Amino acid sequence: GAVVSQHPSWVICKSGTSVKIECRSLDFQATTMFWYRQFPKQSLMLMATSNEGSKATYEQGVEKDKFLINHASLTLSTLTVTSAHPEDSSFYICSANWRDSYEQYFGPGTRLTVT
Residues engaged in binding another protein (CB under 8 A)? 32, 34, 38, 42-44, 46, 49, 91, 93, 95, 97, 101-106, 108-109, 111
Closest CB 71 distance from another protein, rounded Å: 14
The C-alpha atoms of residue 2 and residue 43 are separated, in whole angstroms, by 23
Give the residue with the Cβ less far from another protein, 54 or 102.
102
Give the residue with the Cβ less far from another protein, 89 or 101.
101
Q: If we measure between CA atoms, which residue out of 89, 88, 69 comes closest to residue 80?
A: 69
Q: DSSP labels for the chain?
A: ---EEEE-SEEEE-TT--EEEEEEESSS--SEEEEEEE-TTS-EEEEEEEETTS--EEPTT--TTTEEEEEEETTEEEEEE-S--GGG-EEEEEEEE-TT----EE---EEEEE-
Closest CB 44 distance from another protein, rounded Å: 5
Give the residue with the Cβ less far from another protein, 81 or 94.
94
Closest CB 59 distance from another protein, rounded Å: 9
Closest CB 54 distance from another protein, rounded Å: 14
Give the residue with the Cβ less far from another protein, 14 or 99.
99
